[in-house]
Amino acid sequence: MTQGSPLRLGRHEFSGEATLMMAIVNRTPDSFYDKGATWAEDKAFDRVAQVVEEGAEIVDIGGIKAAPGEFIDEDEEKRRVVSFVARVRSAFPDVVISVDTWRASVGRAVCEAGADMLNDAWGGADPELVDAAAEYDAAIVCTHTGGVTPRTRPFRIEYDDVVASAIADTTGYAARALAAGVAKESIVIDPAHDFGKNTFHSLELTRRLDEMVATGWPVLVSLSNKDFVGESLDLPVGERLTGTLAATAISALAGARIYRVHEVTETRQVVDMVNTIAGRRRPRRAIRGLA
């Protein structure tokens, strides 16, 4: 069976054949998907307990929605996530805690509270985030956004080759993280579907994801209920699960390692089935015609 590189996400290690579910936990009142369902801390904690029970290896905690909206300063972002990270760390010592932030000061605070991973959805907008990850021996996700400003929507962005741009930017970001002192096995790259991209860009990245996998860096995909799925099928948020799982299957066949998701169980089944078909994973049981 084909194996990738082992992963070390903070204090947690995974083999080269492991595929990981990263469950989204929003500490925001205005998320595009759950509309604030986990804004209250106890509701967010219940969400963590649920996804851990469903088998998520990683929880990704975010204190600011990606879309434009109310300005959230660093202090408010810390109030939303730092103490919550500490609570989750105490209750779930075996889960990887990721925090979705682009700010180095927030990164340092959450790592001090027990986070294992910094998920920078905005492509290195704060160049010191890699230093924060290195200081705490944390993992980092290096994304491609085409240089857009955090929390802005793309408008008529053009690429000569969006996949080539994604590879150049994410591997360049990975090299900066490595130079800053982040361990190689703790660096992940992400094409960042929808971020700095239109639907055609995100579709092409999905279709050619094997080219990102071929760089040798572990690839994370964040596909769940994204606009490129909604526009492809002309479906609103809340009706995009089937399309999301189709894009997930293509990404799994290409060799993606981490899946940032709202629906853990369904995504795990799709990824496991695709990897079993691809010969990377053995069936859980195989008795048909043998017993």
Active site residues: 226, 260
| Residue among 232, 212, 236 nearest 143 (CA) | 212
In order of 58, 62, 211, 253, the CA distances from 207 in angstroms are 26, 28, 9, 10
The residue assigned the tokens 């851990």 is 52
Burial classification of residue 149, based on how many CB atoms lie within 10 Å of its CB (0-12 exposed, 13-18 middle, 19 or more buried): exposed
User: CB within 8 A of 39, min separation 6: which ones?
Assistant: 26, 27, 28, 29
* d(C-alpha 164, C-alpha 126), whole Å: 23
DSSP code per residue over 176-239: HHHHHT--GGGEEEE--TTTT--HHHHHHHHHTHHHHHTTSS-BEEE-TT-HHHHHHHT--TTS
Extract the runs of DSSP E, i.e. beta strands, from the chain: 7-9, 12-14, 20-26, 58-62, 96-100, 117-120, 139-143, 187-190, 220-222, 258-261
Q: Are 77 and 60 in contact (CB under 8 A)?
A: no
